[in-house]
Chains A and B, each alone.
Chain A
Amino acid sequence: MTQSTVYSTQSSFPLPDVFSSALTELFRSVQPAIVQVRTDLRGGGTGIVWQNDGHIITNHHVVASNNAKVQVLLSDGRTLDAKVLHSNPQLDLAILKVPAHDLTALQVGKSAALRTGEWVFAIGHPWGQRWALTAGIVSSLSTVKLGNGQTAQYIKSDARLAPGNSGGPLLDADGHVVGVNAMIFGGDLSVSIPSDVVQSWIAGLPRGRAVLGVEIQQIELPAAVRQQLQPERSVGLLIVGTSARSASLQDLLVGDIILEVAGTPVSDAATLRKIVAQQQEGDALSAKLLRGGVVLDTSFVMQIVNDAE
């Protein structure tokens, strides 16, 4: 992991050379902990290996789409399928899980200790480039109003960002992640979510994932039902097993066809999984089911399984 730097033998202390060497070294050492996050629809963004057991942090807006196929590309060339565990639109944060246990994670810094004027570095995939580094300073720490009415102290810097940087890290001079790059104001002011906010969000997440615990398969809907639905669709999700669901919950039965969940039509497993990923344990979800030929409006609760499953 260590690398010696080359000093010029001619000057006594060539500060610009040392600065450049230090920054090159910082980049080299953190690069394995920064990933590219790809979905089928969007251009893609950046992700941060937050824990070496495969938990990856990115922005909600990088993975928010009805298509669940998310992939993570590592700097060593490996491509891994990623599951969106939790996604929060107000904070614009999402946590993913990839099947790997030996990843390099970034060290997390203290965003509250940042001072105006200190160097910060952004790494991501802007402008069609991969693993690009931009440098700037903390411009200010300022209060930003979140979607849910709460406020947070966000980091504003002049390190250049472009859309592909979303979800990537803002690093301090020690190479620790102090922010998640999220927005650009006015074309030239970069805004990052403080790492302290990320840490509290993660700490507050249920330890496992919220799941339904049912086995499903797509099924063609009877013509009589199709016409009743807005928008018209021909496919629903038939529940073929409920063995993973607690027997005490009698709200979902084998033979039920799920038509809609939380107001959103579902005709594929991916869409259902996306909605479920945004729920908390104990949440009750409204649903439209087809049971015994009758369309019912009902609700059911989420249960928790460990992330490892």
Chain B
Amino acid sequence: MTTASIALPPLRLTRLETFWASLVLPSFAGASFAEGEAGFTIGPTEVDYLEGLRRFMAKASDKACLGIRFAFLLAITTPMWLGGRMKGFASLTPTERSELLDRMSRHRIFFVRELCLLLKLIACLAIFRTPGTRERTDYDGPEPARRAAGMRRSLPVLSRSIPHESGAFPTGEQSPTQKDSEPPAASARMTAGGAR
């Protein structure tokens, strides 16, 4: 029996495509913020986008890899077909690049939007693979404090107290065998093995 390991092949892109990737992927999060401004910033060399891309492409389907290559071609030529200017992507400012990618993500043609989303996802996978980035987003919240409180919590918006005795949400049980859109009885509770 073998266990998992991640020994991946080299990036499956040409040198030109690799250059495009190194221009496009950082452009989703290319803005910098002034002191005191709230924004998620990434240092210029903090994220290894190409390593994220390599890991994604190593296991992605053949069709997706083809799509990624086409997506880079589309993205790199957005100044012409989307911006209406005979300019290269590399010669644009970070803000201009972001604007074009933003427009690409809202394009009326499905596959243009989807390919842009695919690139954005790859950029995000690379960003959040980088140590320290996740912690800068407030995604997890104050976990140590929550653990210290015995893992009991409720959101500020949930001002009503939640009974913990039953170890279940204070809501009506609905068994899968029950008629499904009938509102559950107000007093009903899920019990252990509640799907029965």
- Do the two shown chains form a genuine complex with each other? no
